[in-house]
Amino acid sequence: MLTQPLLDKLIQLRLPAFRDGLQEQERNPQYAQLSFEERLALLVDLECTRRHDHRIRNRIRTAAFPQPASIEDLDMAAARGLERRFVLELAQCAWITSHLNLLVFGPTGSGKTFVSAALGLAACRSDHTVRYFRTSRFLYQLAQSHLDGSYPALLASLAKLDLIILDDWMRDPLTPAETRDLLEVFDDRFNRASTLLASQVPVADWFARLPDPTLADSLLDRIIHNAHRINLKGDSQRKIRAMPST
């Protein structure tokens, strides 16, 4: 019989799945047919699996995706400009392991946010750390960190993320201060971590939205030369979903 002190100690050791599995083995006589090593291996596997699942759930929650999205639910019709093989390859996350960037382009409503969140979820499932931001709110957070003195700590925390997703990138022209802050962020991440930028503005128009040519060259150099690209096409997905069925 299992004793309560033993069960309590397993909780103290932070082995809740091991504890649950041990109680199940005690209740189920089928486990008596297994050797000690086999039963122990099952308990260890259960604890490892439970911890892995818990860690992935935490990664997904921390990522703060704006909507539920997954590769499984992604409409990869050819008319949308998505190449199935390429998207599935991106979902394997080798580009993140290689510290490359990804640029997702498309008109308003074309599904840039959904694609970005789906690839972000794939990254979480591959045990990468991910954070999603609207670019305007990201810039506001950087600006506020200057005021409260947390700027160095914020930069350090951002540098540790395997993937940062910035949505609505270059929607609005940037100020010199915003450009310098972004340059600091991308300096820390260049060849060390990945960034996904979702934008309805083509790269050719980015330079004009930056206030200083020198800063513009420096920032864009750290973004576009080591980046994959997805170009979404077609009608607004919001419009399509809103159309009544006939």
C-alpha closest to that of 134 among 223, 67, 212 = 67
The domain 64-242 is placed in CATH, from the list 3.30.565.10, 3.40.50.300, 2.40.280.10, 2.60.15.10, at 3.40.50.300
The predicted pLDDT at position 22 comes to 83
The predicted pLDDT at position 57 comes to 94
Report the alpha-carbon angle 69-203-191, nearest 5.
70
pTM assigned to the model = 0.83
Residues 6+ apart with CB under 8 A from 36: none
Q: What is the DSSP letter of 48?
A: H
The predicted pLDDT at position 10 comes to 84
Q: Evaluate if residue 74 carries a pLDDT over 60.
A: yes
Report the run of H or E that residue 227 belongs to, with start and end: strand 227-231
* Domain residue spans of the chain: 12-61, 64-242
Q: Evaluate if residue 184 carries a pLDDT over 90.
A: yes
The predicted pLDDT at position 1 comes to 63
Instruction: Give the number of other CB atoms < 10 A from CB of residue 193.
Output: 22
pLDDT digits (tens, 9 = 90+) for 8-62: 888 888 888 888 888 888 889 888 888 988 888 988 888 888 888 899 999 999 9
Whole-angstrom distance, CA of residue 184 vs CA of residue 158 = 10
The predicted pLDDT at position 234 comes to 67
Q: What is the dihedral of CA 27, 36, 13, 126, to 10 degrees?
A: -90
